[in-house]
């Protein structure tokens, strides 16, 4: 598994997202007798169509500063996870993206808090099954150990409440025992049709901005 190590803020953000890069998983088949063909699902949106839906400083208000992202090849270092078989399996997938299209951005808030956003697009059934797998893996282990270099970091995970937005909602909170002290991050995703919004950062910022993020999705998605 790999996470960003270019500064404490980016390192913590990527820690919460390290399981996003997993291999494709099947939503399951049905061998029952043939039925009438279901209506065709909406196709995935292209990356270029996702980018205008990302949050901006104007959407978030005062105090937020957008962070310039580096290419993936420049911002990752190896880390490992022990004590959670589901997360270890996610980490074996390499750098294959989870969904058909992805766009992302991140912000600092008042210099010491962070908010990261990812938009993913795929067929609705694929988004649903893979989000369930991802969040199911993270919430399957109440504690695990992550090693960055030679430093072991204890992580505690708990499911979190979600707002009634979109078609599906998922959330959990991570508490990491860092050398500088305990740090808490919240990860929340909302699927609306063929687009999913994922926010990661300080719990108060994620709770405050998710409605705004979902509101930028097209009504037909």
* Assigned token pair, 176: 């990491």
Predicted pLDDT at 206: 96
Predicted pLDDT at 124: 95
Predicted pLDDT at 48: 96
Low-confidence ranges of the chain (pLDDT < 70): 1-39, 69-79, 91-97, 220-221
Contact 203, 46 (CB under 8 A): no
In whole angstroms, give the CA distance from residue 147 to residue 211.
Answer: 34
Number of Cα atoms under 13 Å in the Cβ half of residue 144:
21
Contact 177, 191 (CB under 8 A): no
Predicted pLDDT at 10: 38
- Domains in the chain, CATH or no CATH each: 2-23+44-215 (3.40.1000.70)
Work out the number of other CB atoms within 10 angstroms of the CB of residue 66.
14
Predicted pLDDT at 102: 93
Predicted pLDDT at 177: 87
| C-alpha closest to that of 131 among 87, 171, 186, 89 | 171
């Amino acid at each position: 598994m790999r996470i960003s190590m270019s500064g404490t803020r980016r390192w913590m953000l990527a820690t919460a997202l390290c399981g996003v890069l997993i291999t494709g998983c099947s939503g399951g088949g049905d061998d029952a007798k043939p039925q009438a063909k279901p209506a065709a699902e909406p196709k995935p949106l292209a990356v270029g169509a996702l980018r205008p839906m990302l949050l901006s400083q104007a959407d978030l208000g005062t105090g937020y500063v957008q962070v310039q992202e580096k290419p993936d090849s420049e911002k990752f270092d190896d880390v490992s996870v022990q004590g959670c078989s589901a997360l270890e399996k996610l980490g074996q997938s390499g750098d294959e993206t989870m969904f058909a299209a992805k766009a992302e951005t991140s912000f600092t808030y008042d210099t010491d808090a962070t908010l990261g956003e990812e938009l993913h697009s795929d067929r609705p059934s694929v988004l649903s099954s893979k989000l369930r797998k991802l969040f199911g893996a993270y919430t399957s282990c109440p504690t695990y150990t992550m090693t960055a270099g030679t430093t072991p970091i204890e992580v505690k995970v708990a499911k979190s409440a979600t707002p009634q937005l979109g078609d599906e909602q998922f959330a959990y909170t991570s508490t990491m025992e860092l050398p500088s002290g305990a740090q808490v991050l919240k990860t929340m995703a909302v699927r609306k049709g063929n687009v999913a919004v994922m926010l990661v950062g300080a719990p108060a910022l994620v709770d405050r901005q998710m409605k705004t993020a979902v509101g930028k999705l097209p009504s037909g998605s």
